[in-house]
Chain A
Amino acid sequence: MPDAHADADVHAPAEAATDPAAPHQRPAVQVRGLWKRYGEQIAVQGIDLELPAGQFIGLVGPNGAGKTTTLSMITGLLRPDSGTVEIGGHDVWQDPAEVKARIGVLPEGLRMFERLSGRELLAYTGRLRGLPGDEVDKRATQLLDVLDLAGAQNKLVVDYSTGMRKKIGLAAALLHNPEVLFLDEPFEGVDPVSAQTIRGVLERYTRSGATVVFSSHVMELVESLCDWVAVMARGKIRAQGALADVRGDAPSLQNAFLELVGAREQGSGDNLDWLGGGAR
């Protein structure tokens, strides 16, 4: 569990991943030709992705880029129109038992069993995963402690704040010690204290060789956390690779991102010329 040293070794996963002797040679996730349409609207347009194992991976893109749809299809929550997804070499749709045992998921916009207390939710999730009861209880206690939820463990999840919900969702996703963790906007609406707690847990988790894939549209966060990024816009992957490669010569990931997604500097011109100043 994270401690005072948690922040001291942020770049360890990157070093591990570039080490040729590292145990994770196979990509953690391999996506080929993934498509999803909703009527006339194409949400995901034939994307290919190869996410390296043992790294902190950011899937970034503006709102509506298709990040949530992509993560839902990768984790088996949404059936793609076409394409394949492999996690740890196992096909998500052909071999669900192998895949589901290896992944943890924290989706955005889906509820949890919120009429259970935080502790009950973890006990329920762990037992559904087939873990022995005693082991579930032990892990739940530790996760609740580390995520600073011990004081609210008997409170119903429906009464939790957004940050607490994200943390209990993260605890539920980590409970069975997955190889790959998928988090959809894990820091959205989370206060700085909870964000730091989540961050500490995730950094410790990736240092052990596990993979974290998370979506976000907050570039500063991605830049400070990730070793590897994939940039999405309008249902397509615009770039993917090590953070430094994707950033290129741009001064920040934010600038590189704006260039990649084709966002122009919005000239204010004469619009809103009444706003501010003396005249009311």
Chain B
Amino acid sequence: MPLSSPAVTKPWTPPGLVMLPLRPRPLISALLVSSLIGVGPLFTLTLVLGSLIAIAHGAAAAAAAVLAGVLAVLTCVALARAVATANTRLLSSRKGRDLALLSGLFVAIGVQFVNMGVQKLSGQGGLGVLRPAADILRWVPPASAIDAVQGVSEGAYGIAAAQFALSALVLALLMWWWSRSLTHLMTAPDGSTIQQEKPRKGADGAGPSAAERGPLGLLLPAGRTGTVMLRTLRYAVRDPKAKASWVSSLGVGLLMPFITSVQGNGSIYWSCWAAGMLGMQMYNQFGQDSSAFWMVAQTISSPRDAYLELRGRAFAVALVGVPYVLLAVVGSAAFLKKLPAVPEALGLAFGLLGALLATGAMASVLRPYSIPQDSSKNVAPGQGSLAWMSLLGGMIAGALLCAPLLGLTIWLHTSGMHSLLWVLLPLGIVYGAAIAETGLRLAAPRTVARLPEILAAVSKG
């Protein structure tokens, strides 16, 4: 991992090396040696050294440990460099940059699972779970070189020799792969030289309607509402910023009730997180467009246009949000064995979703801010407080708007009228829909009145 950090791999990109007057073989040898300098290799060396000291017993094992240490560190370094070199074109392409923007999100969600795993392994005898994996990993280089030292310590010289040979072979293969990728990158023209105009599906004159709207588009309503929904959903899949936002909302919305349940603090009300996280998608709608909002602004001339635009965006959120909230609440109830509580929790969740759609529409119009498209930041410099005001104010307003539903829930519980709790489901649905509709209708005329100001606010990134 430390060997693969961008700070370590960046100086070795082929464009920087192509100017050096070196043949491939001396170049790759020089790169391998210079790759051993730095914090990353030192960190790897420390880990390998610790492992070897722990298992090397006797003079023969100590001698084997020296060979194993060199093999293990060189294999790690060669692997990191070979992978980085093979992916150079990807990392410098638009798709690579998109992936890089998403990688932070996967790390953030992955950390939650790592955290749960560490908790499990830290328990009494927890490491025993790893034994089957260890039996396989001892034959996977560079671990095989380290395990060979243990073999030498125990007198199993034949197995140790095989493990050393395996490590050496993998190192040789990695060096060959690295050298081949590097030579190819430094001698073959890249995308800036060759115009890649591969014919793609639909380019052969196939029916334009099918190509434009796709299977999803055909299911959506006609007119502005369906057009806006389709564009919003396409962006949720294709735009890295939008995708990161959607994936984190969907991930956290499900993880929160699950983690609290696993930790023993589970409550079905935690599933309202799903509604909360999805409702947040409605915030800063025009900021998500960035300066492309001018294309929308050019087609909004009346409160009716603005209402249809906002409604399309709200419908896109609801199209994903409603089934997702249903899944989160029912799943959570099943996990906690509290299925009778589904109607009240679902009613509250739908009420909250509606309230956040309403406040999100208003916040999008009154407190828009830029989302820089080419950096990992989610707010343009100088607009941080604006973003916080928008989100925090909207969430507080959303919670306040849910107060009648919350009040009714508490009253029904405290007054012992549990048989009437089902009422919250139809009430929540109607209340959520009504409040969302009110929010959209209030936001629409303000959108028309503020088009240039919104465009200026969302064009800073």
Is B234 close to A, CB under 8 A? yes
Task: Evaluate contact between B298 and A105: CB separation under 8 angstroms.
Answer: yes
Contact segment of B49-57, B120-128, B141-149, B203-211: B203-211
The stretch from B79-87, B103-111, B328-336, B451-459 touching chain A is: B451-459
Asked if B203 contacts A150 (CB within 8 A), the reply is yes
Cβ contacts A159-200/B at 8 Å (1 or 0 each) = 100000000000010000000000000000000000000000
Given A110-B291, A113-B292, A154-B202: A77 and B227 within 8 A (CB)?
Answer: no
Main secondary structure of the interface of B (DSSP, over half): helix
Roughly how many angstroms separate A156 CA and B448 CA in the complex, as a whole number? Answer: 30
| Contact among A112, A133, A141, A155 with B292 in the assembled complex (CB-CB below 8 Å) | A112
* Measured CA separation A234–B200 after assembly (Å): 48
Interchain CB contact under 8 A, A113 and B231: yes
B373 and A111 contacting across the interface, CB-CB below 8 Å:
yes
- Determine if A115 and B202 form an interchain contact, defined as CB atoms under 8 angstroms apart: no
Q: Is the CB of A77 within 8 A of B294?
A: yes
Contact of B297 with A by CB under 8 A: yes
Q: Does A247 contact B (CB under 8 A)?
A: no
Q: Which residues of A contact B212 (CB under 8 A)?
A: 119-120, 123, 137, 140
Q: Which of A97, A128, A152, A155 has the most CB of B within 10 A?
A: A128
Nearest chain A CB to B222 CB, angstrom units: 7
- A113 and B289 form a contact (CB under 8 A): yes
Using Cβ atoms and an 8 Å threshold, which residues of chain A touch B297? 76-77
Residues of chain A with a CB closer than 8 A to B301's CB: 96-97, 100-101
Q: Which of A115, A119, A129, A133 contacts B239 (CB 8 A)?
A: A115
B299 touching A100 by the CB < 8 A rule? yes
Per-position binary interface string of chain B over residues 54-94, scored 1 when its CB falls under 8 Å from any chain A CB and 0 otherwise: 00000000000000000000000000000000000000001
Q: Which residues of B contact A254 (CB under 8 A)?
A: none
Smallest CB separation, B226 vs chain A (Å): 8
> How near does chain A come to B384, taking the closest CB pair, in angstroms?
21
Show 12 A/B contacts (Cβ-Cβ < 8 Å), sorted by A.
A77-B452, A100-B299, A100-B301, A110-B291, A111-B292, A111-B373, A115-B235, A128-B224, A128-B227, A133-B222, A153-B203, A154-B202
B306 to chain A, nearest CB (A): 11
B288 to chain A, nearest CB (A): 11
Residues of chain B within 8 A (CB-CB) of A151 are: 197, 199, 203
- Indicate if A78 sits at the interface (CB-CB under 8 A): yes
Interface range for B: 35 or more
Q: Give, as a whole number of angstroms, the nearest-CB distance from B369 to chain A.
A: 16
Chain A residue, CB-CB nearest to B239: A115
Q: A76-B452, A77-B452, A78-B452 are in contact. List 15 more A-B contacts (CB 8 A).
A: A75-B298, A76-B451, A96-B301, A96-B302, A105-B294, A110-B459, A111-B373, A114-B292, A119-B212, A120-B234, A128-B295, A133-B222, A151-B197, A151-B199, A152-B197
Whether the Cβ atoms of B224 and A127 lie closer than 8 Å is yes
Q: A79 on the interface (CB 8 Å rule)?
A: yes
Do A125 and B295 touch across chains, with their CB atoms under 8 A apart? yes
Please, which residues of chain A bring their CB within 8 A of the CB of B291?
109-111
Contact size range, A: 35 or more
Identify which of residues 395-435 in chain B touch chain A, using a CB-to-CB cut-off of 8 Å.
Answer: none
Complex alpha-carbon distance, A127 and B234, angstroms? 16
Whether the Cβ atoms of A100 and B298 lie closer than 8 Å is: yes
B209's contact among A97, A128, A137, A158, by CB below 8 Å, is which? A137
Determine whether A66 belongs to the interface, using a CB cutoff of 8 Å to chain B: no
Contacts of B199 in A (CB 8 A): 151
A67 to chain B: closest CB distance in Å?
A: 17
B201 close to chain A: CB less than 8 A:
yes
Contact B200 A155 (CB under 8 A): yes
Q: Is there contact, CB below 8 Å, between A77 and B203?
A: no
Interface residues of A in 122-142 (CB under 8 A from B): 123-125, 127-130, 133-134, 137, 140-141
Residues on the A chain within 8 Å of B203, using CB: 150-151, 153-154
Residue of A nearest to B223 (CB): A127
Chain A min CB distance to B285 (Å): 14
Residues of A within 8 A of B377 (CB): none
Q: Does A88 interact with chain B (Cβ within 8 Å)?
A: no
Contact in complex: A153, B227 (CB < 8 Å): no
Contact with A along B228-239 (1 / 0, CB 8 A): 101100110011
Q: Out of B234, B238, B295, B456, which one reaches A112, CB within 8 Å? A: B295
| A52 at the binding interface (Cβ < 8 Å) | no
Verify if A54 is at the interface (C-beta below 8 Å from B).
no
- CB-CB < 8 A to A125: which residues of B? 295, 299
Contact with A along B345-387 (1 / 0, CB 8 A): 0000000000000000000000000000100000000000000
Q: Does B447 contact A (CB under 8 A)?
A: no
Residue B213 is within 8 A (CB to CB) of chain A in the complex: yes
List, in ascending order, chain A residues with CB within 8 A of B94's CB.
158-159
A116 to B455, CA, bound (A): 20
Report the minimum CB–CB distance from A161 to chain B (whole Å).
8
Q: Does A107 contact B (CB under 8 A)?
A: yes
Contacts of A124 in B (CB 8 A): 227, 230-231
- A156 and B238 form a contact (CB under 8 A): yes
Asked if B247 is at the interface of the complex by the 8 Å CB criterion, the answer is no
